[in-house]
Amino acid sequence: MRFLCLHGSGTNSKIFETQTAAIRYSLGDGHTYEFVEGTMPAAAAPEIKELVSPTDELFSYINLENMESCVSALANLDSYIATEGPFDAVLAFSQGAMIAASYITWKLRQNPALERKSPTFKCAVFFSAWSAYDPDALWKGKLRVLTPSVDGEIIHIPTAHIWGRNDKVSIKASDVSGLCAAGTRQVHVHEGGHEVPGARMSHAVKSSVRIIRRVISSAGEINRDA
């Protein structure tokens, strides 16, 4: 399976490669990963400040105070996938998961019949997702957070949701999981914080890999039935 990988705010692709190394190793061969760098310079994310040097270049995909950057992020991702794709799945952390969930929603609204028959991504893996935003509102210059209570289950591909019990913004990840179809949704809540489970969190890595494999399997079953 070919994964498109989107990092969190205030990090970069190389850091995300390191953050996901244990999980990617445990998933085994048969998968490839393409890491896409943000374009907006950013200060270091709090969870990695001690891991980076002053000379490291760190990036974000968007600035939520700049609506043009939000619209551009979706459009740029769409162009990248059209040029470099197709991709089977998206694997994303924090702000990257926000972009991915918002993008999936946007594509579904553009062409519901096509996305249900032949989705842009067959499945998605979200680590500590930082909410998802209504793409229609973004195009109108407004921010509206998508929530299960208002919007219901709007993402219908198989999804894996992984976040930390001690993440101060875990409600955001929980809300993104609630936007995804319950029948093909897998959730693991580990004992960490706002992070991707790494080598020091062996139990969380095993549990995360277990649900990611279930999601990949579900995506394969749906693809065969299509």
Cα distances (angstroms) measured from residue 206 to each of 8, 24, 57, 162, 187: 22, 11, 31, 12, 13
What number is the average pLDDT over the span 144-153? 98
Catalytic residue among 88, 134, 167, 175: 167
Question: 29 an active-site residue?
Answer: no
Question: 194 an active-site residue?
Answer: yes
pLDDT tens digits for 110-148? 999 999 899 999 999 999 999 999 999 999 999 999 999
d(CA 214, CA 210): 6
Name the helix (H) or strand (E) containing 72.
helix 67-84
Report whether the peptide linkage leading into residue 86 is cis, meaning its omega lies within 30 degrees of zero: yes
What number is the average pLDDT over the span 145-159? 97
CB distance 58 to 38 below 8 Å: no
pLDDT tens digits for 177-186? 999 999 999 9
Strands 89-93 and 2-6: parallel
Give the pLDDT score at 129: 98
Position 224 pLDDT exceeds 60: no
Give the pLDDT score at 52: 83
Catalytic residue among 94, 102, 177, 218: 94
pLDDT tens digits for 67-110? 999 999 999 999 999 999 999 999 999 999 999 999 999 999 99
Q: According to DSSP H, which parts of 85-201 are helical?
A: 95-110, 112-117, 135-139, 148-151, 170-178
Residues, the chain: 226
Q: pLDDT averaged over the chain?
A: 94
pLDDT tens digits for 29-67? 899 999 999 999 999 988 887 778 888 899 999 998 899
pLDDT tens digits for 198-215? 999 999 999 999 999 999
Position 223 pLDDT exceeds 70: no
Give the pLDDT score at 50: 73
Give the pLDDT score at 222: 59
Give the pLDDT score at 104: 98
Confidence of residue 190 (pLDDT cuts 50, 70, 90): very high
